Structure 1
Amino acid sequence: MSNVILKSIIEMTGQRDADSLECSLVATLAEMVPIHEACLYRRLPQSDAKMVEETICLSVSKNDVGETQYFWHDPGTLVPIDSNLEKALSVKKPVLYQVSSGIRLLIPMSCEGEIIGVLSLESTQGLSEYKTLIEGVVKIYENYSIILNESERDKLTGLLNRRTFDNKLSRLLKIQRVTKEEDVSSERKKGKPQRRYLGPDSFAWLVILDVDHFKRVNDTFGHVYGDEVLLTLSQKMTSTFRSSDLLFRFGGEEFVIVLEPIPFEMAQKTVDRFRKLIAEHLFSQIDQITISLGFSKITENDYPQTVLENADKALYYAKEHGRNCAHNYELLIEKGELVEEKEAGSIDLF
């Protein structure tokens, strides 16, 4: 057992992003503890306080010849917070109770003192003899989460950094794809956990924003003041956008926002409302700072780099047409203001 534990610890601490670490935690416990299901629930923004998101779920079973089988469920399910989940989240202590398939153990998960979710373990037998092992693995996960969280964050602003972009966006697209395939009404009839309903006209949106004339700010007032502008901008982003939206600093004065699926009109209003918020904010010494923004639709079949390039073209258009404005890539294509380029590798045969 000691070799298995050591191997599992090495596997967990070898992960380089939070999502992979979550998978490793669940897989580790499934290997060392007699459970038939392990799930990880993440807290949602305050507006969705009656639900948690099932980010990881692993089922364990035996086949006809006694071999162990593992099945990973699709992420993104929204689970209602029942009395037991509520107790685990509020009391911040493990909760053990009976279920139809045996027992269920709920363990609150924290990062830097804040409860971020709950680990759920189901078993047909008691888990008391594994208590120390489970608590130890969870503590290793929590400690390493702090390290990973710091490595994924921009040092100045605390926003996600460029290195995390591909993984974060890929996960969001996977959830979007799974969610769109789900018939919400039938799920409700069956009493199953609900997923976010996106609607046929709802998409995720990638927004690139850039501070107008930022070099002039640095040259005139110095880099310390320039950093203060970037910090203020990031704080405005954090307080304005939803907790479920992804906020990145890509470097310098360039920031990226990934809006969770909403209709185009709502995305356009959201982007322009933030532009106005910054333009109306009075910065010390310089008074006004403006930003230019470009945004593009994200579909589940898009490559992250392609979406980035599309949004960047819309941003460049905004910079070339007055600054302090926001433009959508697809709308610019539709109006003939931009020409859509063919994907690399496409060949015209005739």
Structure 2
Amino acid sequence: MTITSIDVLDSVVDITAQTESDTISESLITTILQLTPTKQVLVLDYNPEAIPEFMVVTCSDLFLYDKEKKSIEHVLRNCVFKGESVVEFSPNDKQSLLAVPISYGEKNDIHAVVLCKSDLLKGVEVQLIEGLTKIYENYQKIISSSERDGLTGLYNRKMLTTKIDLLLDRFLIQGTNLTNNPTQYHWVCIFDIDNFKLINDSLGHVFGDEVILLITALMRKHFIDEDILFRYGGDEFVVILHPQSREEMESIVRTFIRAVKERDYGQAKEVSVSMGVAAISDQELNAITVLGFADQALYRAKQDGSNRLAFYEDLVLSGELKALQPEDDVEFF
């Protein structure tokens, strides 16, 4: 395989033309496959505090990790331990496994690894993969900073509608519920801090920011990696919960609301949140509609006081809310 500088330049252009984290990962995999003798590529998240530590986020072969988990995890851990690229050759199938670390954050910790499987790799081919991975790493940092809230590190408002619309697109493609279980749904939860203006006015905005950070920490503790967390703005937050039953979801969000109420906030004696929840189903047409349902539920929850939880579907069934029709022209936000 003869690779020209034009080929490499075109690949760099393709990677940096993407505007979302997921599509950048897919572009990196395509580029490595095109420019090197690599046969399979995985991009894995790494979190030493999670179980499992490594999680496949994008791949060219869905089953490679399961089929060769032992040998792959050996080279991945070796890569993380050394903090540099590692190549291991397997004499059994005469294939090479290359692991290249990806670092993010102020401490430059390893948060992901690119793994390639191929015939014996030459030094120049390893260098090319390392160079492409570095471009990917640098560009991911740029994309991540534009997708994240500066204070909390949660996804920002811009990403909220994008993530929900991606779920709704899957409805259109599959033509069915997102899970095989008709009793399970993704759920959108919108909540804000009760009487947050009083906290800012009496204790100052710096203390208000500290409360927001403490609640963000509780969000990360009580929701799992499959859930998507957002700071919508100010003291408003959104969580998209992974598919589960109404009973499971309600138990999780009530536990979170209780944990917020019971936490010690120092000078702020009373801190609580109120939440509105709505299911994401194939009846919704766009993210604004889904968010509108949850926001209506939040509005009703706050009308009842503080530290409250309300469900859009319950409010519709009870007649407290009128079910929104797709043609209704309503601006929620």
Q: TM-score range by the shorter chain?
A: 0.7 to 0.9
**Aligned AA for 2:73?**
E
1:94 aligns with: 86
| Alpha-carbon distance change, 101 to 41 in structure 1, aligned in 2, over 3 angstroms | farther
1:3 aligns with: 6
2:320 aligns with: 337
Secondary structure of 1:160's partner?
Answer: coil
**Aligned AA for 1:334?**
L
**Aligned AA for 1:231?**
L
Select the residue among 259, 269, 272 that pairs with 1:290: 272
Select the residue among 157, 162, 171 that pairs with 1:167: 162
Select the residue among 112, 121, 129 that pairs with 2:116: 121
Q: CA deviation at 1:323?
A: 2.5
| Alpha-carbon distance change, 237 to 26 in structure 1, aligned in 2, over 3 angstroms | same
**Aligned AA for 1:126?**
L
- Distance, in Å, in 2 between the alignment partners of 1:29 and 1:311 is 42
2:222 aligns with: 240
**Aligned AA for 1:205?**
W
- Distance, in Å, in 2 between the alignment partners of 1:104 and 1:317 is 59
| Alpha-carbon distance change, 262 to 249 in structure 1, aligned in 2, over 3 angstroms | same
| Alpha-carbon distance change, 108 to 259 in structure 1, aligned in 2, over 3 angstroms | farther
**Aligned AA for 1:57?**
C
1:140 aligns with: 135
- Give per-residue Cα distances to partners, 1:279-320, cap 9 Å, x unaligned: 122322220111110011123564222211111111011011
| Alpha-carbon distance change, 301 to 88 in structure 1, aligned in 2, over 3 angstroms | farther
Single out whichever of 79-88 and 16-25 deviates more from structure 2: 79-88
| Alpha-carbon distance change, 78 to 327 in structure 1, aligned in 2, over 3 angstroms | farther
Q: How does 1:22-101 map to 2 (within 5 A)?
A: 22-43=25-46, 48-49=51-52, 52-53=55-56, 55-58=57-60, 79=66, 82-92=69-79, 93-98=85-90
Gaps of 5+ in 2: 80-84
Q: CA deviation at 1:176?
A: 8.7
- Distance, in Å, in 1 between the alignment partners of 2:180 and 2:228 is 17
- Give per-residue Cα distances to partners, 1:27-86, cap 9 Å, x unaligned: 211221234443333457966418733x33337xxxxxxxxxxxxx7xx99847721221
Please tell me whether the aligned partners of residues 40 and 57 of structure 1 are also in contact (alpha carbons under 8 angstroms). Answer: yes
How many percent of aligned residue pairs carry the same amino acid? 32
- Give per-residue Cα distances to partners, 1:229-250, cap 9 Å, x unaligned: 1111111111221122111101
Secondary structure of 1:341's partner?
Answer: coil
| Residues 1:231 and 2:213 aligned together | yes
Q: CA deviation at 1:25?
A: 0.7
Please tell me whether the aligned partners of residues 179 and 185 of structure 2 are also in contact (alpha carbons under 8 angstroms). Answer: no
Gaps of 5+ in 1: 60-72, 183-195
Q: How does 1:198-277 map to 2 (within 5 A)?
A: 199-277=181-259
- Distance, in Å, in 2 between the alignment partners of 1:253 and 1:225 is 13
**Aligned AA for 1:332?**
L
Secondary structure of 1:159's partner?
Answer: coil
- Distance, in Å, in 1 between the alignment partners of 2:174 and 2:52 is 20
Q: CA deviation at 1:26?
A: 1.0
| Residues 1:156 and 2:141 aligned together | no
Please tell me whether the aligned partners of residues 294 and 328 of structure 1 are also in contact (alpha carbons under 8 angstroms). Answer: yes
- Distance, in Å, in 1 between the alignment partners of 2:325 and 2:65 is 38
| Alpha-carbon distance change, 79 to 52 in structure 1, aligned in 2, over 3 angstroms | farther
- Distance, in Å, in 2 between the alignment partners of 1:148 and 1:308 is 24
**Aligned AA for 1:320?**
Q
Q: CA deviation at 1:263?
A: 0.9
- Distance, in Å, in 1 between the alignment partners of 2:201 and 2:64 is 49
2:303 aligns with: 320
Normalising by structure 2, report the TM-score. 0.82
Please tell me whether the aligned partners of residues 106 and 118 of structure 1 are also in contact (alpha carbons under 8 angstroms). Answer: no
Q: CA deviation at 1:107?
A: 1.8
Q: How many equivalent pairs are there?
A: 316
- Give per-residue Cα distances to partners, 1:157-192, cap 9 Å, x unaligned: 11111122233344556779999989xxxxxxxxxx
Please tell me whether the aligned partners of residues 233 and 278 of structure 1 are also in contact (alpha carbons under 8 angstroms). Answer: yes
2:23 aligns with: 20
| Alpha-carbon distance change, 329 to 208 in structure 1, aligned in 2, over 3 angstroms | same
- Distance, in Å, in 2 between the alignment partners of 1:300 and 1:45 is 37
**Aligned AA for 1:315?**
L
Please tell me whether the aligned partners of residues 159 and 248 of structure 1 are also in contact (alpha carbons under 8 angstroms). Answer: yes
- Distance, in Å, in 1 between the alignment partners of 2:267 and 2:175 is 48
Q: Quote the RMSD (CA, aligned, Å).
A: 3.4
